[in-house]
Amino acid sequence: HVQLVESGGGSVQAGGSLTLSCATSRNPGNNRALGWFRGDPEKEREGILERDGVASIASDGRTIYAGSVQGRFTISKDNAKEILYLHMNSLEPDDTGTYYCAARRPWSDTSLDFRLYAAWGQGTQVTVS
């Protein structure tokens, strides 16, 4: 059972940078795709479960990004430390949200569709003003 724990969120002014980290267990990055998503916990409490795909990385290191973050965000992983990262530059107010890391099932490819992910962290808040 893969466990994921995010950290690194905070408040930042527009144009600033943040790096999110996701500590994983059982080294999922070795054999499946991992991803970062942005959600709204208030909507989820109302029963609206929808998380926007931000970036995804395959076990071989291939990456995909949402168009809105292409060129500004970078997803990376350190398999030895079992940590997934999201480096965010040139942050904009629209980047505000709760960021979740997630893992697909084994031998899966990259995807920005949250419905394809099987394990999730608890989220970390990013606020850009």
CA dist., res. 52 & res. 43, Å (int): 13
Question: Residue 92 region, left (φ>0) first, then alpha (ψ -120 to 50), else beta?
Answer: beta
| pLDDT higher than 90, residue 66 | yes
Structure-token pair, residue 71: 């060129």
| pLDDT higher than 90, residue 10 | yes
pLDDT digits (tens, 9 = 90+) for 104-114: 999 999 999 99
What's the whole-number mean pLDDT along residues 40-66? Answer: 91
Assign 42 a pLDDT band (cuts: 50, 70, 90): confident
